[in-house]
Structure 1
């Protein structure tokens, strides 16, 4: 049996060229649209829209609405030219209804959820199950084992589709940030080691941040006001497979190579998470911090990044992880900017007082003056984490664009440079573009450089991405290198 092939390829079309079908009977509520948006941000736009030759939607109304809400300008589509008007209407109904007829194998569902939950790079809140559903499904397996029954024989709570991801009926899911979306990287690698890409006013080098020449190349004479990074830690990524001692060498190499990269009062902010071995957490950063002190760096501050609610499930007896650390080092202090709005801004201060050490209440010196508009941030950064999906080698240091954006606003001024020695998928670059800081970034893996560029182009399709060596744009380089590979084959 053969079926008609509907389309020769998937097309990337501007959303302005697409139209919802006026008779679409499928209703997507606000909660489900949030789920679709979260899925797009986590996994990319994985399911093309189905449209007819006039650009009218046949399937994918919810995905299109979510894409518009996220600010995505172009979406993948398949054009179905072989259907009659009646067949188009029938497919609009069948595409939704047939999927509803599926049921869950509860035992396999529990097994799959447990596996996903154990994966550090996956946030189970983005799967579409509510927190109560996840807890009930996973608890059923625990109850079955406790009672001595096989898990598949236990009472099985039903999994349904309602509720925002990771939220109960009374919880409000945090708004997703379009900048945290990770599109698919190119099928064929484009970037090669040594490539220096210019992304607008930013620079991204595929190279080794422990190499002083590479650092000098990407900085091009600039001095950064801030180094922000979230490096791989423990045994993560290929160059740390030897363990913590290799991580120490990596960090010494990075900070030894950047002596000319920072201003005299440049600040260093490093995001690190906990790792556990043999039942206890390890202060794996101790050796690196001791080395930094020997080089004249001060352990100036230690901040907590509050990532929001912890994930449901059993964490080997520990409370659910919901924070990471940000280490602040410097050689000279720099006053942070006042970026947090004050609740009573502009309201005149009244006649309150301050109690001195001797117990006497002194007159408050700001009586009659208005409350300032903003203040410096506190040492707990309350920024909800939106985990990315990673690619082949799985990125171990996933963080939202809002984290570097917040810290850049606190410790840099507009137009100043920021150095990022572990660029990963380009999150710091996107933060810099959003608030007018110039990012100088290095990433070792060509695949992640390509992913960083793909994210950049998704959000900034009108801004150029060119190779510094000859000024050719990314598409021209991709085409030339693909042609060279084809000729070599």
Structure 2
């Protein structure tokens, strides 16, 4: 029997585990699952937790009191720090809203005692250049606020000294004369800290797997390329519909995704299987 809309189903007494290729999915509460993971076993964490701005998740009430939400996220972060290796990267995608613009920064400040903010990346979802525009535009009916065209991607590390593969995550030079003139060995430069990664255009929520907070697979792919470790052990404690694991699979990494909602778990398993089948075809 399906849960009533907006109701939070009780998590299973025992976490359920699924394996698709090199990717492992744990259906259960992330705090419980993190406690069972081996310490210092993860190279890269990429995740987008609930934003606490009233999004309509199936199995999670996205409207806690702010201090309650921040305390909960801090508890999750303690678990993530325990499993992250000394040279690991933690990429946290989060956004506020026009009514709650401080929330991402409040969370980042709370995490200051656990991590170093090595890079702050702006994920640009839509942008206007001159009289042209690019990316997915979501209208906002307001006389006070601007359209929100970006989200935050905080890159945390334990000590702020993690070496990155900036060129693998980079872009070709626009002016090719810069290659020889500046002594570069290849036609690649750092992408910088503003990443334009638009969504594919969709017409309804079914095309986003009925999930209110998905991100394009190119976003976790760029994170993995930037960290630059082959065969990395990847973790997403708020897996959703499996986009981080999909990126890990395509780049030959080993992923673990944790998700409490059974329907999102089913979608993630299907996406991973279909992607494996397409790669083998």
Report TM bin, short chain. Answer: 0.7 to 0.9
Find out whether 1:311 has 2:137 as its counterpart: yes
The equivalent of 1:342 in structure 2 is 172
Inter-partner Cα distance in structure 2 for 1:259 and 1:312: 35
| Contact 2:42–2:85 under 8 Å retained in 1 | yes
- List gaps (5 residues or longer) in structure 1: 1-190, 351-365, 464-489
The equivalent of 2:205 in structure 1 is 389
| Contact 2:235–2:257 under 8 Å retained in 1 | yes
Give 1:196-275 correspondences, 5 Å limit: 196-211=17-32, 214-215=33-34, 217=36, 219=37, 223-234=41-52, 235-236=54-55, 237=57, 238-275=60-97
Inter-partner Cα distance in structure 1 for 2:248 and 2:157: 21
The equivalent of 1:298 in structure 2 is 116
The equivalent of 2:241 in structure 1 is 425
Structure number with larger C-alpha Rg: 1
| Contact 1:225–1:267 under 8 Å retained in 2 | yes
Inter-partner Cα distance in structure 2 for 1:446 and 1:221: 27
Give 1:3-402 correspondences, 5 Å limit: 194-211=15-32, 214-215=33-34, 217=36, 219=37, 223-234=41-52, 235-236=54-55, 237=57, 238-277=60-99, 281-295=100-114, 297-308=115-126, 309=134, 311=137, 313-317=139-143, 318-332=145-159, 333-337=161-165, 338-339=167-168, 340-343=170-173, 349-350=180-181, 369=183, 371-386=185-200, 389=205, 394-402=210-218
| Contact 2:208–2:214 under 8 Å retained in 1 | no
TM-score by length of 2: 0.77
| Compared CA separation, residues 273 and 210, structure 1 to 2 (3 A) | same
| Contact 1:223–1:261 under 8 Å retained in 2 | yes
Aligned partner of residue 180 in structure 2, secondary structure: coil
Aligned partner of residue 397 in structure 1, secondary structure: coil
Q: How many pairs does the alignment contain? A: 250
Inter-partner Cα distance in structure 1 for 2:150 and 2:87: 28
1:335-358 Cα distance to aligned partner (Å, 9 max, x none): 2211224336798634xxxxxxxx
Inter-partner Cα distance in structure 1 for 2:191 and 2:208: 37
Shift of 1:221: 6.7
Inter-partner Cα distance in structure 2 for 1:241 and 1:370: 50
Inter-partner Cα distance in structure 2 for 1:346 and 1:222: 44
1:159-213 Cα distance to aligned partner (Å, 9 max, x none): xxxxxxxxxxxxxxxxxxxxxxxxxxxxxxxx996111111111110111122xx
- Structure with bigger RCO (C-alpha 8 Å, 6+ apart): 2
| Contact 1:206–1:442 under 8 Å retained in 2 | yes
| Compared CA separation, residues 347 and 315, structure 1 to 2 (3 A) | same
Aligned partner of residue 123 in structure 2, secondary structure: strand
| Contact 2:38–2:83 under 8 Å retained in 1 | no
The equivalent of 1:407 in structure 2 is 223
Shift of 1:302: 1.4
